[in-house]
Structure 1
């Protein structure tokens, strides 16, 4: 990590990438280090093209955008990082370890979340009401 800039793509080259920095942000959020995650997210918030898409990366100290590519996974990584930090959607919990641990009884929080929100559970109920298990 380069203070004030983000995460290097390769440790021995002066190139920071937005996607790798976003992965660091998600990791920090999963660890409960929200203050640091917000700080790092702030470092990359302005690294955008005029159309709002994020740079793939940039060199330093000259701050040249490189490579000059618009990659969908970079934008997706930034959105996931922002969600992990600010809890914008229910998906923010994907990297939260307690979400995957056993909750009530022997069902995890994830199981209960999917049962409530995922269409497979309603399809099963509608069309396979006699089936004990969809895997059967």
Structure 2
């Protein structure tokens, strides 16, 4: 039977954490944890999986350090510790899905996920197809 999460390979347990607000940016728009991590140049799902493996206290410290580096939300400058504490409570713990365990395992063991390999192969096939189609039309 096919994996039911094939179209959404990210653990659903991360959603509540990743979609939580960290505050408003200078333009008045709500900024989520997901966009914060992405703006810091991090993969939000990998970083969240790593935070989960650290436990609540370790995650709070790491998240506080990340939020301290993020300057798009002015309120975080003085309040990043409190925000990190409340956000760390949204991280999943206890019973977790298979996808969460796979994501955390990938982070701790350093092995890339198979979905990345699949996308890479598909991208190569697409490029080759484009080259074949483009090569014949230049006459």
TM over 0.5: no
Q: Scaled by the length of structure 1, what TM-score is found?
A: 0.28
Q: TM-score, normalised to structure 2's length?
A: 0.27
